[in-house]
């Protein structure tokens, strides 16, 4: 058990490291050379001109204006200044709503903290006889402020029960208000959006095969009959996975070509040689520039052939299509209704926006989809509860003895003292760390196997899996030590009333651990996020070796994006901790408040200046966020029940069960009240938008507008004119406003800027 002193020391250490990160960031961001690392969003928007294009030579790389260093924290107020409406139009609704989660944390926990310190801390503190008398347990001052300080069977527990009620109702009230606010924001956002292809389009999956007609004709006939007044056009989906791979490969070869060309230009004397064999380690040695030039030529030819093949061969068309309607009303109707009497064919849903489409998953038959989900559910169960078994196996292998046995030729090496201690001390930890770093990728692959059709739904789905993992392995895993499968086994042999007791009783003792966790993961981790160390290094490497044109430099920027599938479940852990410890050990709450406030500022800054979202789903993740906070609330009730029944206060159990039931009911209520806003599109809004548009632009050619919106990105952009235009303007990046407007108009005409970039990549090769 850590004392207040220990916690203070830890707090100071973590505060210092957070400060170091912040200082490093404050200095690094002022250097012109890093401008594209810390402000890529503005470059992508075309509003910011490179500071390197003016000024003296040194000024191009290092900021020598000392006055700017004085106000090194001035990014904080700046981040908070942008009003929400502007933020939405600047960064999209997804991002704007995402940072509202942190704000939500503050809204929930600031009043709870104040109340806790006003009521529960005095109640716990003044009941101070118990712990002084117990000698066998080491209790610290922190425990004097926690529920542990109250003797069993004391009447004082009523204060905790009443507070549990107050906190629960407050949380539900805030959640309700927030859900309402966000559903309004979403609807307003959708209503205010400009014309977009996905507003008129429905994704049709599981088109049944027809012996007499092509998929394209079949789809057209079906919708012409069943939506006769509204059908406009359709776009079949090509299986362009092979083509996409070729494009990818060509891009990589092209990067290598640029790399060797740059090297050659710097040192024309030295011939650049590479080996053609496995990973460049063996094989014939050839001239690098020649090699890549011919490779690229070869790939270009292959690519052209493949592209022709895809476009002409009927087998390349998968059993899915994007069907567009002449009004939003028509699309809304088609997306929400059942088309065929067989509910596994002609499945319709809102089309994701073009850049959000996950093309590989569009043509999975219903029964296969169903089997895949079963397998993945089973896999998730084993991954969550039994991941320690293979990890343990690898760790055993990564031990001294394991290496000696399997790789005997390494024996002299590992017998060296330094290597030995490294292997023994770090390797097992590193194996686990590597697994944890890989985990989000594994979960994403699992979600992909499950067959979701849009990147946004893949993200949401992975987040759900990760959330389960975090709750089981981080939260419960920290409270009850031992691997998850051991816990599982124990719980299977305990009664349902025993489990909350087992966990509840250890709860107060783990408070100090979680406080440290919050400081390390929450405070220092978030400060590291703003420094963007990895993108910083990557940008400078790329900048040195791959950048020749201004366009290349734009390519080298890695703005990154909010990684919803990882950051949201982690964030949920803080809600869970706050809700659980609000009644038990209120001293933990200020740490959580600092986390939320600090994160809010950092992410607001990142969203404004750095991140470039890959898609815009209109905050469709909010139902998940709401549900997970409610899960946290239910867990907090159950653990409190357990804790109080070990304290001879089990007469409070029915009262707390009422809270649990109420919380679950609130979830159902919210689901019925708001969730459809995030799933369906109300016809009333569709009619309003249709009417407005028909009045203002009566002669707009919608069919032409939608023509190629849902073409696979690699099948687009075979015309050279557009690409040249891009290059021209890319160089002339000072003409900011003009470029922005052109960009947005291009986005409309060609789908998305993501496609645009890909197009640019393909064409650069020629």
What is the 3 state secondary structure string of 610-672?
CCCCCCCCCCCCHHHHHHHHHHHHHHHHHHHHHHHHHCCCHHHHHHHHHHHHHHHHHHHHHHH
The interface region with a copy of itself, picked from 467-475, 567-575, 615-623, 664-672 by CB under 8 A, is 664-672
Which residue among 96, 299, 649, 677 contacts a copy of itself (CB under 8 A)?
A: 677
Nearest approach, Cβ of residue 453 and a copy of itself (Å): 16
Based on the shown chain and the rule CB under 8 A, indicate whether residue 496 belongs to the binding site for a copy of itself: yes
Nearest approach, Cβ of residue 456 and a copy of itself (Å): 20
Based on the shown chain and the rule CB under 8 A, indicate whether residue 101 belongs to the binding site for a copy of itself: no
User: Quick one: 446 or 474, whose CB is closer to a copy of itself?
Assistant: 446
d(CA 639, CA 584): 10
The interface region with a copy of itself, picked from 196-204, 489-497, 721-729, 753-761 by CB under 8 A, is 489-497
Nearest approach, Cβ of residue 668 and a copy of itself (Å): 7
Nearest approach, Cβ of residue 222 and a copy of itself (Å): 8
Spatial contact of 519 and 9, defined as CB atoms under 8 Å apart: no
Nearest CA among 126, 178, 176 for reference residue 155: 126
d(CA 382, CA 485): 9
Which residue among 27, 110, 483, 687 contacts a copy of itself (CB under 8 A)?
A: 687
Residue whose structure tokens are 């910011």: 48
Which residue among 127, 154, 300, 336 contacts a copy of itself (CB under 8 A)?
A: 336
* Distances in whole angstroms, Cα of residue 19 to Cα of each of 29, 140, 329, 341: 15, 28, 53, 63
Tokens of 487: 């816990």
Based on the shown chain and the rule CB under 8 A, indicate whether residue 611 belongs to the binding site for a copy of itself: no
Residue whose structure tokens are 């124990």: 490
Burial class of 268 by CB neighbour count within 10 A (0 to 12, 13 to 18, 19+): exposed
Which residue among 661, 692, 718, 735 contacts a copy of itself (CB under 8 A)?
A: 661
Based on the shown chain and the rule CB under 8 A, indicate whether residue 498 belongs to the binding site for a copy of itself: yes
- H or E stretch covering 590: helix 589-609
- H or E stretch covering 169: helix 157-192
d(CA 463, CA 191): 28
User: Quick one: 222 or 514, whose CB is closer to a copy of itself?
Assistant: 222
Angle subtended at Cα 452 by Cα 630 and Cα 230, rounded to the nearest 5 degrees: 105
Nearest CA among 457, 442, 235, 452 for reference residue 361: 452
Residue whose structure tokens are 């009422």: 658
Which residue among 15, 28, 110, 187 contacts a copy of itself (CB under 8 A)?
A: 187
Count of beta carbons in the 10 Å neighbourhood of residue 411: 12
Nearest approach, Cβ of residue 678 and a copy of itself (Å): 10
Nearest approach, Cβ of residue 216 and a copy of itself (Å): 19
Based on the shown chain and the rule CB under 8 A, indicate whether residue 340 belongs to the binding site for a copy of itself: yes
Number of residues located near a copy of itself, criterion CB under 8 A? 49
**What are the start-end ranges of the E strands in 288-437?**
317-325, 347-350
Count of beta carbons in the 10 Å neighbourhood of residue 155: 8
Binding positions for a copy of itself, 37-66, rule CB under 8 A: none
User: Quick one: 190 or 458, whose CB is closer to a copy of itself?
Assistant: 190
Which residue among 672, 695, 696, 737 contacts a copy of itself (CB under 8 A)?
A: 672
Draw the binding track, 199-238, toward a copy of itself (x: CB under 8 A; -: no contact): -----------------------x--xxxxx---------
Dihedral sign computed on CA atoms, order 55, 56, 57, 61: negative
**What are the start-end ranges of the E strands in 347-411?**
347-350
d(CA 280, CA 274): 7
Spatial contact of 530 and 22, defined as CB atoms under 8 Å apart: yes
Long-range contacts of 98-101 (CB under 8 A, 24+ apart): 98/562, 98/564, 98/568, 98/603, 98/607, 98/621, 99/600, 99/603, 99/604, 99/607, 100/178, 100/182, 101/568, 101/571, 101/625
Based on the shown chain and the rule CB under 8 A, indicate whether residue 654 belongs to the binding site for a copy of itself: no
User: Quick one: 588 or 638, whose CB is closer to a copy of itself?
Assistant: 638
Tokens of 338: 């059942």
Nearest approach, Cβ of residue 497 and a copy of itself (Å): 5
User: Quick one: 424 or 684, whose CB is closer to a copy of itself?
Assistant: 684
Based on the shown chain and the rule CB under 8 A, indicate whether residue 665 belongs to the binding site for a copy of itself: yes
User: Quick one: 334 or 726, whose CB is closer to a copy of itself?
Assistant: 334
Based on the shown chain and the rule CB under 8 A, indicate whether residue 497 belongs to the binding site for a copy of itself: yes
Which residue among 332, 527, 566, 593 contacts a copy of itself (CB under 8 A)?
A: 332
Per-position DSSP letters for 187-242, written without gaps between them: HHHHHHSPP-GGGSEEEEE-PPP-SSS-HHHHHHHHHHHHTTTTEEEEEEEE--HH
Which residue among 217, 271, 433, 680 contacts a copy of itself (CB under 8 A)?
A: 680
Which residue among 341, 412, 417, 437 contacts a copy of itself (CB under 8 A)?
A: 341
Nearest approach, Cβ of residue 496 and a copy of itself (Å): 6
Which residue among 111, 151, 477, 682 contacts a copy of itself (CB under 8 A)?
A: 682
Spatial contact of 465 and 443, defined as CB atoms under 8 Å apart: yes
Based on the shown chain and the rule CB under 8 A, indicate whether residue 177 belongs to the binding site for a copy of itself: no
Nearest approach, Cβ of residue 694 and a copy of itself (Å): 12
Residue whose structure tokens are 């998929």: 215
Draw the binding track, 537-576, toward a copy of itself (x: CB under 8 A; -: no contact): ----------------------------------------
Residue 215 φ/ψ region, left for φ over 0, alpha for ψ in the -120 to 50 degree band, beta for the rest: alpha
* Distances in whole angstroms, Cα of residue 496 to Cα of each of 8, 224, 362, 502: 38, 57, 43, 11
**Residue 46: CB partners within 8 Å, gap ≥ 6?**
733, 736, 737, 739, 740, 743
The interface region with a copy of itself, picked from 436-444, 458-466, 491-499, 630-638 by CB under 8 A, is 491-499
Which residue among 74, 424, 494, 549 contacts a copy of itself (CB under 8 A)?
A: 494
The interface region with a copy of itself, picked from 89-97, 202-210, 330-338, 600-608 by CB under 8 A, is 330-338
Draw the binding track, 374-403, toward a copy of itself (x: CB under 8 A; -: no contact): x---x-------------------------
User: Quick one: 50 or 676, whose CB is closer to a copy of itself?
Assistant: 676
Binding positions for a copy of itself, 359-378, rule CB under 8 A: 366-367, 370, 374, 378
Based on the shown chain and the rule CB under 8 A, indicate whether residue 493 belongs to the binding site for a copy of itself: yes
Nearest approach, Cβ of residue 335 and a copy of itself (Å): 9
d(CA 764, CA 257): 12
The interface region with a copy of itself, picked from 170-178, 237-245, 311-319, 494-502 by CB under 8 A, is 494-502
Tokens of 179: 């859900």
Please give the residue ranges that form the binding site for a copy of itself (CB under 8 A).
187, 222, 225-229, 329, 332-333, 336-341, 343-344, 346, 366-367, 370, 374, 378, 491-498, 661, 665, 668-669, 672-677, 680-685, 687
């Amino acid at each position: 058990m850590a004392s207040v002193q220990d916690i203070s020391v830890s707090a100071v250490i973590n505060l210092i490291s957070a400060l170091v990160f912040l200082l490093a960031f404050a200095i690094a961001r002022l250097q012109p050379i890093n401008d594209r690392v810390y402000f890529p969003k503005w470059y992508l928007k075309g509003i910011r001109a490179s500071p390197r294009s003016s000024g003296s030579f040194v000024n191009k790389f290092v900021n020598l204006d000392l006055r700017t260093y004085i106000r090194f924290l001035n990014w904080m107020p700046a981040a908070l200044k942008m009003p929400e409406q502007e933020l939405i139009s600047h960064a999209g609704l997804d991002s704007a709503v995402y940072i509202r989660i942190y704000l939500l944390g503050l809204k929930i926990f600031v009043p709870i903290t104040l109340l806790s310190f006003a009521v529960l801390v005095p109640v716990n503190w003044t009941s101070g006889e118990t712990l002084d008398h117990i000698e066998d347990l080491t209790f610290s001052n922190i425990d004097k402020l926690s529920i542990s300080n109250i003797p069993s069977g004391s009447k004082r527990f009523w204060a905790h029960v009443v507070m549990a009620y107050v906190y629960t109702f407050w949380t539900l009230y805030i959640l309700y208000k927030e859900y309402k606010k966000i559903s309004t924001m979403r609807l307003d956002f959708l209503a205010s959006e400009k014309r977009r292809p996905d507003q008129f389009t429905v994704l049709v999956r599981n088109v049944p095969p027809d012996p007499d007609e092509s998929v394209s004709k079949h789809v057209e006939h079906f919708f012409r009959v069943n939506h006769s007044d509204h059908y406009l056009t359709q776009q079949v989906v090509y299986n362009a996975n092979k083509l996409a791979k070729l494009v990818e490969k060509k891009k990589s070869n092209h990067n290598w070509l640029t790399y060797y060309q740059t090297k050659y230009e710097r040192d024309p004397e030295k011939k650049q040689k590479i080996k053609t064999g496995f990973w460049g380690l063996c094989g014939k040695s050839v001239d690098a520039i020649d090699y890549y030039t011919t490779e690229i030529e070869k790939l270009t030819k292959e690519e052209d052939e493949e592209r022709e093949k895809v476009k002409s061969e009927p087998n390349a068309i998968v059993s899915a299509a994007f069907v567009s309607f002449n009004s939003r009303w028509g699309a809304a109707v088609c997306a929400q209704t059942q088309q065929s009497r067989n509910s596994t064919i002609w499945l319709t849903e809102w089309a994701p926006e073009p850049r959000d489409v996950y093309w590989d998953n569009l043509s999975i038959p219903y029964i296969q989809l169903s089997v895949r989900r079963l397998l993945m559910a089973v896999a998730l169960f084993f991954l969550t509860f039994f991941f320690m078994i293979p990890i343990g196996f690898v760790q055993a292998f990564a031990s001294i003895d394991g290496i000696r046995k399997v790789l005997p030729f390494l024996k002299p090496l590992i017998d060296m003292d330094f290597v030995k201690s490294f292997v023994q001390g770090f390797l097992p930890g590193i194996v686990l760390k590597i697994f944890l770093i890989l985990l989000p990728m594994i979960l994403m692959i699992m979600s992909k196997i499950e067959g979701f059709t849009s990147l946004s739904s893949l993200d949401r789905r992975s987040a759900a899996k990760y959330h389960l993992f975090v709750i089981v392995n981080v939260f419960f895993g920290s409270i009850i030590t031992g691997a998850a499968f051991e816990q599982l086994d124990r719980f299977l042999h305990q009664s349902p009333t025993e489990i909350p007791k087992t966990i509840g009783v250890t709860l107060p003792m783990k408070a100090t651990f979680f406080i440290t966790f919050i400081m390390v993961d929450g405070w220092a981790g978030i400060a590291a996020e703003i420094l963007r160390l990895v993108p910083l290094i990557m940008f400078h490497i790329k900048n040195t070796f791959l950048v020749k044109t201004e366009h290349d430099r734009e390519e080298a920027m890695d703005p990154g994006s909010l990684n919803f599938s990882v950051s949201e479940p982690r964030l949920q852990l803080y809600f869970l901790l706050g809700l659980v410890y609000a009644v038990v050990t209120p001293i933990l709450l200020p740490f959580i408040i600092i986390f939320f406030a600090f994160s809010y500022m950092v992410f607001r800054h990142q969203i404004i200046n750095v991140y470039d979202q890959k898609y815009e789903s209109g905050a469709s993740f909010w139902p998940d966020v709401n549900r997970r906070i409610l899960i946290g609330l239910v867990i907090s009730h159950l653990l409190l029940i357990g804790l109080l029944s070990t304290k001879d206060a089990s007469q409070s159990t029915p009262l707390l069960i009422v809270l649990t039931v109420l919380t679950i009911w609130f979830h159902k209520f919210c689901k019925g009240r708001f969730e459809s806003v995030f799933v369906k599109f109300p016809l009333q809004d569709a009619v309003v938008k249709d009417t407005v548009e028909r009045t203002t632009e009566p002669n707009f050619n919608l069919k032409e507008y939608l023509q190629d919106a849902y073409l696979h990105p690699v099948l687009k952009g075979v015309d050279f004119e557009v690409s040249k235009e891009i290059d021209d303007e890319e160089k002339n990046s000072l003409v900011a406003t003009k470029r922005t407007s052109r960009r947005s108009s291009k986005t409309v005409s060609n789908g998305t800027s993501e496609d645009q970039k890909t197009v640019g990549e393909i064409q650069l090769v020629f």
